Every structure is written in structure tokens, then in C-alpha cells.
Amino acid sequence: MAVGAGLAGWLAVLEHPGERQAREMFTDGRRTGSGLEACWRAVRGRLDARREWLCAPVAVLLAVLGASVLPLVAGAVAVPLVRRWLRRRAMRCAQERAADAVVALCGTVVGELRAGREPGQALLTAARNAGALGEDEAEAAVLAAARFGGDVPSELRKASAGPGLDGLAGVAACWRVSVDGGAGLAAGLARLEAALRADRRRREELRAQLAGAWSTVLVLALLPVVGLGLGAALGADPLSVLLHSPGGLACLAAGGLLEGAGLFWASRIVRAGEAA
């Protein structure tokens, strides 16, 4: 508890000087909320940014309980693996948010066009509200083309290369057809929005159907931990057997390999269903 309190205080005090100056400038030197709330926000922000390092205290605890360095080695190996998994998960979430923003962009542009705005002004308004044009450079290029009469379809197609922004290629195609062929842009974007919403519903339904499979994978992954807990509750001291005997080390190595292979195979099966 003392170490945790000291770490929390250090994280609360260690803040960027620019953030401190900005807070003093815009709040007249008054801090918003209590010191405990500020401390908790600081700790939570840093833990969210470095969640993979939570493997380290777990490894230290197991090393102390088992009086062995093997959990420390396992924790050191687990940190980069967990970091990679967290990054992939964050990337998938960002792609989903970007896809939802493209759908919102289409709906806003359609509403602005039907309200009587020009296509360029409608895109500018929708981009400010939805923010679905990817990175800053791509967004600036699209907005500049829309504001000054540039090649909007080409810029939209370039922006569609971003993660989760595939729908912008459809917006570019609708824009190109409406400019070259005189077709209604609002009608094309309305159909595109309906198609993107239907695709999102299919993804959500598939995710709901695969939730049971993911739960099964999680339960199977936690079964060895439950077995170790039951053995410790019965007084068998499984950590000493696994970490300090030749047979236990062999069982630990074989069990770790089988556990990793099972998780990989089950995840591959579920992800194949998601890709389909």
C-alpha cells in the first residue's frame, strides 16, 4: 500500500509543464476537482497507455510465491506479446470508429445537399461534424479541394487508403459520377450510406454470433489457472512442484506449449469465421 501510494503521488506530480501552464492560464490557477481525483486521473491515464506492464507485478508475485525466476522470464516474454495484442485491438477499434464516421459523413452530406447546399459546402460541413477524412494531411487536402474547387474525387480516393476508410472510395465514385454524368449526388450517397449501414449490421450480427466462441476460448485459457488455484487451496503447493522439480518443469513446459498452441488454433478458427 505504501509503494502504491508513493507511485500514485509521483505520477500525479510528474506532469508536463505546458499542461500545467495551460491549466493555470485558463482556470486562473485553480485546479478542477480534488487532489485525489487528479491523482486517480493521472494514474489511470498512464496505466491505460502502458497496460502491458501490468504483467510485471503479476510475474513478480508469482516469482515470490514460487521462489523461482521462471515467472520473471515469462513476464518479460509476455510484455511484448501483450503490447502487440493491445495495439492490434486498438487498431481494430480505430478502424470501426473510422467506418462509423464515414457512414455519418454520408448521412450528413445527404442532409446538407437536400437542404440546398452546394456539394463542396455540404462536404465541408459534414467533415467538420463527422471528422471521417483520416489523417490531418488527407483531411486538409480533401477540404482544400472542396473549398477551392479542386479534384475532390481524387483526394477522397487517396484518403480512402487509411484504416477503416474504405467507404470514402464509394463517396469518390458517387462524386465522380455526379460531376461527369450529371447524376444526383444525394441519391448516390444515400444508397451508399444504406449499403454501409447494412454491412455494419452484418458485422455486428457476426460478432454477436461469435461471442460464444470467444467465451469458450477464454474459459479454456483460464482452466489451468483455476487448476493451480484449486491445488493451492487443497494444500498441494502446485507452484513448488512445477518450478522446483524435473517432472514439474517438464509438465510446465509441455502445458505451456499446448496452451499456446490451443489458443492460437482456437483464435485462428474464430478469426476465420470473422473474415468470412
Instruction: For residues 184 and 196, give the distance between their C-alpha atoms in angstroms, rounded to a whole number.
Output: 19
Q: Looking at residue 49, what is its pLDDT? A: 64
Residue 8, pLDDT > 70, answer: no
In a domain, 274, yes or no: no
Mean pLDDT of the chain: 78
Residue 29 is assigned to a structural domain of this protein = no
Q: Cβ(238)–Cβ(178) under 8 Å?
A: no
142 domain residue, yes or no: yes
Does residue 237 register a pLDDT over 60? yes
Which residues neighbour 100 within 8 Å (Cβ) at sequence distance 6 or greater?
200
Question: How far, in Å, CA of 204 to CA of 217, rounded?
Answer: 19
Instruction: Select the more confidently predicted residue: 21 or 173.
Output: 173
Closest CA to 71 of 84, 81, 57: 57
Stretch 188-206: mean pLDDT, rounded? 88
pLDDT digits (tens, 9 = 90+) for 161-186: 888 888 888 888 888 888 776 567 88
Domain assignment present for residue 62? The answer is no
In a domain, 223, yes or no: no
Assessment of whether the complete model's pTM goes beyond 0.75: no
Range of the domain at 146: 96-196
Give 67's DSSP letter: T
Q: Is the pLDDT of residue 81 over 60?
A: yes
Residue 12, pLDDT > 60, answer: no
pLDDT computed for residue 13 by the predictor: 46
* Under 8 Å between Cβ of 189 and 110: yes
Q: Which three cell numbers stand for residue 46?
A: 498512464
Indicate whether 28 belongs to any domain.
no
Provide the domain count of the chain: 1
Under 8 Å between Cβ of 157 and 176: no
Q: String of b and e for 188-216 (b: at least 16 CB within 10 Å)?
A: bbbebbeebeeeeeeeeeeeeeeeeeeee
Q: What percentage of residues in the chain have a pLDDT greater than 70?
A: 78
Residue 168 falls inside a structural domain: yes
Domain membership of residue 18 (yes or no) is no
| Secondary structure element (H or E) that encloses residue 164, with its range | none
37 half-sphere exposure, CB direction, 13 A CA radius:
4
Count of other CB atoms within 10 angstroms of residue 169: 17
**Biggest distance spanned by C-alpha atoms of the chain:** 80
pLDDT at 29: 41
* Segment 124-154, tens digit of pLDDT: 888 777 666 655 677 788 888 878 877 888 8
The rounded distance, in Å, linking the Cα atoms of 246 and 179 is 75
